[in-house]
Amino acid sequence: MKLTLGVLDQSPIGPGENAQAALRHTLELASATDRMGYSRFWVSEHHNAPGLAGSSPEVLLAAIGAYTRHIRIGSGGVLLPHYSPYKVAENFRVLEGLYPGRIDLGIGRAPGGMPLSSVALRGGAPKQPDERFPESLRELASYLEISPPLGREHPLAGLKATPLVETVPELWLLGSSGYSAAAAAQMGSGFSFAHFINGYGGQGAVRDYRRHYRPGPLGAQPKVNVCVFVICTDSDAAAEREASAMDLRLLYQEKGEFGKPFPTPEEASAYPYSEWDRTRIAENRQRMIVGGPDRVRSALTAFAASYGAEEVMVNCLMSDFRLRMRSYELLAEMFPQRQR
C-alpha cells in the first residue's frame, strides 16, 4: 500500500517567536510541502490560545493558496457550532473561486478554546445543542449545492450562497470520538480522526464509520484519513530530545497552564516531574510517533495499517521551525509523494 501524507499545521508560536513569525512559517511550510508533493495542507482554528496563531482558517487559506500551486488546502477545521452555515458556505465558495478544485472544508464541533471565547464567538447566544449540528450540516450542504436546496417550509428557502462558482469544496468531518464518526457516516462526508488529540479508540471509530457509511448530503463515497503528531529527526536520540519539549507542552495543557510558551528541550530536561506527570507523559506518547527515519518509517506504516488508512495527516509540532521543516523533508523522502 502506498502511503499518502498530508499536513496539519497549527501555526505554533515557537520559543522566542511572535505570532507574525508563526504565520510566516505556516506560509513557508505550505509552499515547501507543496513542492515536496504532500496531498493536503490543513490549518486549524483555535481561539484565545497564546501559543497558536491560527484563529481564522478561512483568512489564512486565502494567503496559503497564493503560496501554493498543486496541494489541496483546507480547514482542520472550521468549528461550525459557532457560526452561521450560510457564512461558512460563502467563505468557502470564495476560496473555491480563487483556487478551484483545491479546497477542503473540514468541519469540527469542538469549542476550539476556553468557554469565554465560545461565548464571544456566539455573540452571547446560548450554546447550540448537539442535535442542532446535523441540521447545520444539511443547511451548509444545501448552500454549497452539494445537496438539494432547503425545502419550501424552511424559513430560508430560496437563499443562495454567493459567489456562484462551478466547483465545490471536498467535505470532511473531523473528530476524536465515535460521535463524529457516526455523524460522518450518516451524512456521507469524509472522516478524519484526530489521533493527535485522542490516542485511543480511533481504529474502532474508523471501522464503525466504514461499516455504517451511507451516501448523504455531504458526499457519496467514504473517505478516511487520520492525523498524528510526528517528531522525526536525523537520529532517534535527537528526536527523543525534541519530543521531551512536546511532552512538557502537553503536560502544561493538561494542568491548565495554557499561557506558557512552547518549552525548549532544555526546559523539559530541568522540569521537576512528579510520578503523575510521568504517567501522563507515557499516556500522551500514544498520540505521537517519535524517532529517526528508520523508526518512524516502521511506526508510521504500522500506524496507517492499524487504521486501514491510505492517507495520514502529519503534525510535526516542534520547538524549532528548522527542525519542523526537516521533519517534513525526511517524511517526504521516506514516503515519496507525487512528483513535480
Domain assignment present for 118: yes
Asked if residue 252 belongs to a domain, the reply is yes
CA dist 99 and 168 (Å) reads 11
Which residue(s) pair with 216 in the sheet? 219
Q: Which pLDDT score is estimated for 340?
A: 47
Structurally, the chain folds into a number of domains equal to 1
pLDDT (0 to 100) of residue 149: 82
Q: Which residues of the chain have pLDDT under 70?
A: 1, 111-114, 127-130, 338-340
Domain that holds residue 293: 4-334
On whether the CB atoms of residues 112 and 139 are closer than 8 A, the answer is: no
326 found inside a domain: yes
Q: Is residue 255 part of a domain?
A: yes
The pLDDT value recorded for residue 284 is 98
Kindly report the CATH number assigned to the domain that includes residue 178.
Answer: 3.20.20.30
- Here the cell at position 256 is 491548565
In-domain check, residue 149: yes
Q: Which of 44, 32, 99 is CA-nearest to residue 72?
A: 99
In a domain, 293, yes or no: yes
340 domain-assigned:
no
DSSP string spanning 255-291? Answer: TT-TTSPPPPHHHHHH----HHHHHHHHHHGGGEEEE
pLDDT given at position 152: 78
Per-residue pLDDT tens over the stretch 92-150: 999 999 999 999 999 998 765 667 787 888 777 776 666 789 999 999 999 999 887 87
Q: How far apart are CA 277 and CA 282, in angstroms?
A: 9
- Quote the pLDDT of residue 170: 96
Residue at grid coordinates 489521533:
195
Q: Where are the alpha helices (DSSP H) in the chain?
A: 19-36, 57-67, 85-98, 115-121, 132-143, 178-187, 202-212, 236-254, 265-270, 275-284, 293-307, 321-334
Per-residue pLDDT reduced to its tens digit, 41-71: 999 999 998 899 999 999 999 999 999 999 9
Nearest to 9 by CA among 58, 49, 59, 45: 45
Angle in degrees, 0-180, between the axes of helices 57-67 and 85-98, rounded to the nearest 10: 10
